[in-house]
């Protein structure tokens, strides 16, 4: 018997972003509503900490994006199904500056709410969402399992962040 991909609705531009809560890499509880009225939020879903493509993506995010003016008003949150301790170790090893949120338990609940979870691998795929201060999705990138080993081009969401200024 094969396991099919979960058929959750994809979150799209113009939608109200689903609320979420999860523990970040320091163990602090984080919710989307924590940022309402204060900061835009870029959710970067990825499958596995310490994997080659994920490390490459977040190293690029760390190294190439400090110039982005709009990042002063934008919280970048990486989300995977890895446990908090793994996220903490990965962040320390790579000297990442962004926050990571664990979608470990209930397993994949945040990813499922955004249509980013794939049952076949038990983890989120590479989807990205920019949410404005009012909680509305302003940018959405949907990638399937077939692009799992391909790093995302960050130029599109960089432009979306700049447009929110």
pTM of the predicted protein model: 0.92
Closest listed residue to residue 75, CA positions, set 126, 130, 123, 13: 130
- Greatest Cα-to-Cα distance within the chain, rounded to the nearest angstrom: 50
Query: pLDDT at position 7, please?
Result: 43
Angle formed by the axes of helices 52-64 and 84-94, nearest 10°:
50
Which residues, 6+ apart, have CB-to-CB distance to 85 below 8 Å?
none
Going from N- to C-terminal start, the domains of the chain cover 21-163
Tokens of 34: 């924590």
**Residue 54 annotated as catalytic:** yes
Per-residue model confidence as pLDDT tens digits over 71-100: 789 999 999 999 999 999 999 999 999 999
| Straight-line distance from the first to the last Cα atom of the chain, in angstroms, rounded to the nearest whole number | 50
Q: Could you confirm whether domain 21-163 is CATH 3.40.30.10?
A: yes
Query: pLDDT at position 69, please?
Result: 63
Angstrom distance (rounded) from CA 59 to CA 97: 10
The whole-angstrom distance between residue 152's C-alpha and the CA centroid of its chain comes to 12
Angstrom distance (rounded) from CA 54 to CA 45: 10
Q: Which parts of the chain sit beneath pLDDT 70?
A: 1-8, 69-70
Exposed, middle or buried, 63 (CB in 10 Å: 0-12/13-18/19+)? Answer: exposed
Q: Which of 49, 54, 123, 131 is catalytic?
A: 54
Establish how many alpha carbons lie within 13 A of residue 27's alpha carbon, considering only the half-sphere containing its beta carbon. Answer: 2
């Amino acid at each position: 018997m094969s396991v099919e991909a979960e058929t959750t609705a994809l979150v799209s531009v113009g939608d109200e972003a689903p609320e979420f809560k999860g523990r970040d890499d320091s163990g602090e509880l984080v919710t989307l509503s924590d940022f309402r009225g204060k900061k835009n939020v870029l959710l970067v879903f990825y499958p596995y900490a310490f994997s080659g493509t994920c490390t490459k993506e977040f190293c690029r995010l760390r190294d190439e994006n400090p110039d982005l003016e709009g990042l002063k008003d934008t919280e970048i949150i990486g989300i995977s199904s890895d446990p908090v301790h793994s996220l903490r170790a990965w962040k320390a090893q790579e000297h990442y500056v962004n926050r990571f949120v664990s979608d470990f338990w209930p397993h994949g609940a945040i990813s499922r709410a955004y249509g980013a979870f794939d049952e076949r691998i038990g983890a989120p795929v590479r989807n990205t969402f920019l949410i404005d201060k009012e909680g509305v999705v302003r940018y959405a990138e949907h990638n399937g399992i077939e692009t799992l080993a391909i790093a995302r081009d960050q130029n599109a969401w960089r432009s979306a962040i700049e447009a929110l200024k």
